[in-house]
Amino acid sequence: MGNILEQLAICIERGKVNKDAKFPPALQGQDGADELTVKALDQGYSANDILKKSLMVGMKIVGDKFGAGKAFVPDLLIAAKAMNTAMEHLKVYFESGELKHRGTVVIGTVSGDLHDIGKNLIRMVLKGDGWNVIDLGVDVHADKFVEVISENPDCYIGLSALLTTTMVNMKTTNDVIKSKFPNTKIYVGGAPLSQDYSDEIGTDGYFPDPYSFAQHLSAIAS
Amino acid sequence: MKTYKSLAINTPEELIFGSSPNPVKCKSGLVIGGGLVYPEINFTLPPMSIEESTWHTVEKHYNQIAVEVCNRAKRLKIPGLVVEFEQLPPMTMNPEWGGKITELLQNHLQNFQSESGIPTALRVTVVDLRDADRPPILREGNSWEKTREAFVCAAQAGADILSIESIGGKEVHDQALVYGDLQGIVTSLGSLSWRDMGWLWDEITSIANEYGCISGGDTACGFSNTAMQLAGKGMLPSLLAALDRAASAPRSLAAFEHGAVGPSKDCAYEGPIIKAITGAPISMEGKSSCCAHFSPLGNIAGAAADLWSNESVQNVRLLSGSAPEAFMELLAYDCRLFNIAHKKNEALHLRDMLVDSDIPLNVEALILEPKIVIDIAQAIVNEDGGYKRTKAAVKVAFDAIAKAVSEGRVEIAEMEKSWLPRLGSEIDALPDNEEEALENLKSTYGTLFQPKAYGLE
C-alpha cells in the first residue's frame, strides 16, 4: 500500500467515506477519507498537499471517468461525498486563508420554475471539486441573484431551467445581473437549452452536465 | 379507502391496449378503456413568459391550438378525443388563469363535439406547487392552498378529468437516486410518497366529487421518469431506472386506493402495473412523446394503453402545420392501428410485436413485459402498506431482470454489469419492517424532509 496521500486518493476515487461505510464492499472495515485525512494531518502533511496531491487527485480520476462515459453519477457523487467529508477537517485552513476555495458559484433555478435535480447535481459536483457553492433554490428572481453577487463580487452564476416557458427568464436574469455586474460570468443548463440559446440571450456558456461545467470552471479559474 | 388484495387482470393475455375491466365513462359519452384506444393530445406554449402583459398572447396560442387540433381530428375521423391541458406554473400560481384556459379549451371541445359528433374529454393537470418548498410542507401552507385552489378553478371551469404529477417524497428520492441508494429510493417511494399520495388523492377526489369531475390519476414522473432520463443520458444505470419504475407502482396505486378511477397520467409508465391491479384505464406515451423527451419504451408503452399520448408539444410551426396539429395526426394514425388490430382480432399479435421489439434492448422495457407486469402486480397486492409493497415490487423486478440477463434475453451495457450484484445485495439488505427503514431514512436524509408533512409525527 502506498503512502497515506495515495491511500486517501484511492478512498476519494472509490467513494470510501469513513471506516463504517459499507461501500465499496472491497474496502469494508478499512479507514476511509474521514480517518485518513486526520491521520495525514497528524503525520505532518500540509493542508495544501492533502488537498492538491490527494483529494483533488482522487476526484480527478473519477471525474475523468465520468467525463469519458465510464462512470455513473452515483460514482461521482459518492467520491464527492468522501471529498466533502475530508474537507471538513480542512475547514479551519480555509477559514485562516491558508487554503482557498477555487472560487464561489451561485446557482439557482430561474423564476417560475420548480425543477431542481439538475441544479442539485451541479451543487454536489462543484462542492466536491473544491468550490464554495451558494444554492439559492428554485423559482429564484433576478434580484436575489443581484443581492448575492453584491456579497460575493467574484462569483460565477449558474442558472437552471427545465421549461420552455421559464427559460425565457434566463434572459431577464442575465440582463438584470449584467446591467449591474457586467463582468459576472453567467452559465446556463437544463433540458430545453443549448449553446445557441446561451449565445442568443447573452449568457457566457451552456453545459449539458455538471462535470463539463466543473471542468470549464476549473479551466477559467486556474 | 380501498385496498387492492387481488388483481383485476390475472393473465398476460388480458393486459391489452384499448380494453380495461373498469372503463371510465365521461359526461360526453366517451368511454375510456371500453374497447377503443383514443388519442390524448397535449400541448404547451412556445418559449414565452406568462404574465398579465402576455396573457392575450397566451390565450391566442391556446385558441389556435384548439382549432387546429379539432380540425385535424375531424378530418381524420377519430372515434373520440381527449385533450390534456397541463398547466404551467404561473397558471397554477394564479388559479384563475388556469381556469380561463380550461374554460377556453372546454368550449372548443364542446363545439367540436356538437359539430362532429365525436365525443371528447378534457383532462386538466395542475402543477404541484408544493415542490417549491424545501423541505416540502405538503399538507398546509400557501403552496398547497394555491394547488388546491387551482383544482377547484379547473373543476368549476369545466375540467372533465383531474390529475397532477405529485411530488411528495421527491425531496428524498432525488438525493437517493443520484447516489444510487436503493434503500433510500424504496423508502422514499414506499413510505413517504405513498403516504402523501393517500392524503393528496383524498383531497383531489373530494373536489372531483363536489364538482362532478373524474378523479383521474397521478404519475411517478418526478421519480422514475427522472431516473429514466438520467439513465438515457448515461448518468445512471438503466438497471437502477428499471427498479425505480417497479418501485414507483405502489405509490401511484395509492391514488386509486383513495378515489382515483383513471385514466392515470400519460407519463406514468408504471401504468400497466396499475391497470393489472385496478382494472382502470391508463394513458400511455411512447415514441409519440419524442417531441417532449426520449425513452427506451417507444413501442412497448403502447401495449396496454387506453389513451395514447404525445406528452407535450410546443406550439411551433413545422413544415406541415403547427406541431400540435402534426402530433394530433400522429396520434390519430397510431390509434387507428390499435383499433383495427382489435377489429381484426389481431390485437394480441400487435401487442406482442410492440413488446418484443423493445424488451431485448433495455431492462426498462423488459419490466413492462406483460408477464413481468402481472408478477410485479401480484407481488404488490400480496403485501400490505406502501413500504412492503415497494420492497416486494423491486425484488420481483430485480429477479426478472437477473434471470433475463442470464438467459441472454436482454442486453445490459458492460458498465452496468457490476451493478447487478450491487443492487442485488442492496435488495437483500432492505429492512423487513418499515420502522427500521424510516429510521435509516431519517439518519441519512433527515435534513431533507419533515416527518410531520407525511403524517409521521
Same domain, A202 and A179: yes
Residues B89, A168: C-beta atoms closer than 8 Å? no
Q: Does B132 touch chain A (CB under 8 A)?
A: yes
Please state the domain count of chain A.
Answer: 2
What range does the domain containing B405 cover?
A: 12-454
Q: Identify the pLDDT of residue B105.
A: 98
Which of A25, A42, A46, A34 has the alpha carbon at shortest distance from A7? A34
Q: Please count the other Cβ atoms lying within 10 Å of the Cβ belonging to residue B257.
A: 20
pTM metric for this prediction:
0.93
Q: What average pLDDT does chain B have?
A: 97
Residue in B47, B131, B178 nearest the CB of A73: B178
| Nearest chain B Cα distance for residue A155, angstroms | 24
Note if the bond before A182 is cis, omega within 30 degrees. no
Please state the domain count of chain B.
Answer: 1
Same domain, A22 and A124: no
Q: Is A176 exposed, middle or buried (0-12, 13-18, 19+ CB in 10 A)?
A: middle
Same domain, A90 and A109: no
**ipTM given for this complex:** 0.89
The reply to whether B80 falls in a domain is yes
CATH code at position A182:
3.40.50.280
The reply to whether B112 falls in a domain is yes
| Nearest chain B Cα distance for residue A72, angstroms | 5
Report chain A residues whose CB lies below 8 A from the CB of B175. Answer: 120
CB-CB contact of B72 with B328 (8 Å): yes
The reply to whether B293 falls in a domain is yes
Same domain, A133 and A92: no
Domain boundary among A59, A80, A96: A96
What is the rounded distance in angstroms from the CA atom of residue A89 to the CA atom of residue A154? Answer: 26
Same domain, A81 and A147: no
Same domain, A8 and A92: yes
Q: Per-residue pLDDT averaged across B80-85, rounded?
A: 98
| Nearest chain B Cα distance for residue A221, angstroms | 26
Domain boundary among A96, A119, A146: A96
Same domain, A157 and A185: yes
Report chain A residues whose CB lies below 8 A from the CB of B425. Answer: 25
Which of B239, B170, B271, B168 has the alpha carbon at shortest distance from B427? B239
What range does the domain containing A119 cover?
A: 104-221
Same domain, A48 and A141: no
Q: What average pLDDT does chain A have?
A: 92
What is the rounded distance in angstroms from the CA atom of residue A82 to the CA atom of residue A13? Answer: 9
Residues A120, B132: C-beta atoms closer than 8 Å? no
CB-CB contact of A105 with A172 (8 Å): no
Report chain A residues whose CB lies below 8 A from the CB of B147. Answer: none
Same domain, A37 and A135: no
Calculate what percentage of chain A has a pLDDT beyond 70.
99
- Per-residue pLDDT band at A2 (split at 50, 70, 90): low
The reply to whether B372 falls in a domain is yes
Beta bridge partners of B25: B31
CATH code at position A58:
1.10.1240.10
Looking at chain A, which residue has its C-alpha nearest residue B413? A70
Distance of CA B72 to the CA centre of its chain: 26
Mean pLDDT lowest among A80-89, A141-150, B239-248: A80-89
Q: Please count the other Cβ atoms lying within 10 Å of the Cβ belonging to residue B10.
A: 13
The reply to whether B1 falls in a domain is no
3-state secondary structure of B94: coil
B183 pLDDT more than 90: yes
Instruction: Please report where in the chains the cell 429564484 appears, as a residue.
Output: A140
Domain boundary among A96, A125, A158: A96
> Which residues contact residue A34 at a Cβ distance below 8 angstroms, ignoring those fewer than 6 apart?
A17, A18, A19, A85, A86, A89
The reply to whether B245 falls in a domain is yes
* B14, B84, B86, B108 from B71: Cα distances, Å: 35, 17, 21, 11
Report chain B residues whose CB lies below 8 A from the CB of A139. Answer: 89, 132
What is the rounded distance in angstroms from the CA atom of residue B110 to the CA atom of residue B427? Answer: 51
Amino acid at A58: G
Same domain, A109 and A141: yes
pLDDT in tens, A161-184: 988 888 889 999 999 999 999 999
